[in-house]
Amino acid sequence: MTERRRVVITGMGAVTPIGNTVDDSVARLKAHEHGVRFMPEWEFIDDLQCRIAATVEGIDFHKRYHRRVRRTMGRVALLALYATEQAVAEAGLTEELIQGGRTGLAYGSTSGSSSELELYSRPLMYSNSMRGLQSNAYLRIMTHTCAANLASHFKVRGRVQPTCSACTSGSQAVGYGYEMIRAGIEDVMICGGAEEMHYTSAITFDLLMATSAHFNDRPDDSPRPFDAGRDGLVTGEAGATMILEEYEHAKARGAEILGEVLGYASCCDGAHITQPNPQGMRRVIDLALEDAQVSKDRVDYVHAHATATPVGDVAEAQATHAVFERPVPIASTKGHVGHTLGACGALEAIWSMQMIREGFLAGTRNLVDLDPECPPLDFVRETRDAKPQIVVSNNFAFGGVNTSLVLGAI
């Protein structure tokens, strides 16, 4: 039997509502800070219940990138590019290596740029005219805009895989990259996810009665994962990129190895398209641990998806307890940055890796009164000093799509 190829992490980049680099965001994560704010930009929408969101601040993409770069990129692709530049630099990837045919790319978002789609649609909707429409607008609004634009920008010649699966877009990208390297198809993979803020994201969940509607005057206090007083999710935006690499390949070129992807799984509930399913959640974690060849008692922390919806958080807690059968430490970081949708899986994997490297466990913001329906897990509320060696990071999406990543120290 051929020896299984190990997959390591050699670069990471992030742009988030609590910091525009990995280091800055982790510092604020440790400090238990958040990036949720009131959104006066949404005042023109009469019926929207949720008026808070988490946005990336402090970046002028027009000043940072030349028009030649921006002409095919909406905000979602620019967030992806900003994070990927950081990750590529940290990994020390040369143009020769990226363009050599053994480097691939997997990247996702919930959709293309919603703000660009709005601009594209207005002339058609209101004047039935094509006048003023730009010929390259589609490149900014297409569902694989992040993957396509990053591949073009960095001149990637290996496989390119868009992963557009809503809340598992980022985690499926990391998982796909892991599988590509382990199978020997590529030696390096650029992986991640991004999401831009647009009112249509909030409206989507508002219509499903899944957004936080009672904290518009107190954005500090929402969202509230696992808390008895939670009333729904808060949308956020971010970009997050991981560079994955075959272990011997990374060693041979002298790259700093940050950690290892030990295992990955994805499965479908095969049930309701939006309702959380504890059985599917449990199954994907079991499959990931099996793939990683890691026993459940070795896991030091579970990075929960937990978006602060009434049903989803309890279902996830029940599934987690069913797998580990002990009070394993668990927390959700969505209280810090909201639900960053297509970016969250990659961002949470990056933060999980930093917890291992820096020796801490992130807590759940706004978890004051634990929902009594939650089983007896070790719900981490404040930043905790620790030395985690193995972290499981879980994400769940509409369509019953489930993912689980097992990350470890090298």
Tokens in use for 104? 């691939």
Per DSSP, the residues of 237-273 read -EEEEEEEEEHHHHHHTTPPP-EEEEEEEEEE-SS-S
Q: Please state the rounded mean pLDDT for residues 139-145.
A: 97
Q: Tell me the pLDDT band of 2, cut-offs 50, 70 and 90.
A: low
Q: What is the pLDDT of residue 128?
A: 86
pLDDT for 349-400, tens place per residue?
A: 999 999 999 999 999 999 999 999 999 999 999 999 999 999 999 999 999 9
Share of the chain above pLDDT 70, in %: 100
Domain boundaries, the chain: 8-408
Do residues 357 and 308 lie in contact, with contact meaning Cβ atoms separated by under 8 Å?
Answer: no
Q: What is the pLDDT of residue 232?
A: 98
H-helix or E-strand spanning residue 219:
none
pLDDT at 1: 47
- Evaluate if residue 133 carries a pLDDT over 70: yes
Q: Report yes or no: 271 and 400 within 8 Å, Cβ to Cβ.
A: yes
DSSP 307-372: -S-HHHHHHHHHHHHHHH-S--EEE-SHHHH-B-GGGHHHHHHHHHHHHHHHTEE---TT--SB-T
Average pLDDT of the chain, as a whole number: 97
pLDDT band at 195 (very low <50, low <70, confident <90, very high): very high
pLDDT tens-digit map of 223-276: 999 999 999 999 999 999 999 999 999 999 999 999 999 999 999 999 999 999
- What number is the average pLDDT over the span 42-55? 97
Give CA–CA dist 140/373, Å, rounded.
43
Report the pLDDT averaged over residues 170-195.
98
Confidence category of residue 122, pLDDT binned at 50, 70, 90: confident
The catalytic site residues sit at 167, 305, 339
Q: What is the pTM of this model?
A: 0.97
Fold of 8-408: Peroxisomal Thiolase; Chain A, domain 1 (3.40.47)
Model confidence at 102, in pLDDT bands (50, 70, 90)? Answer: very high
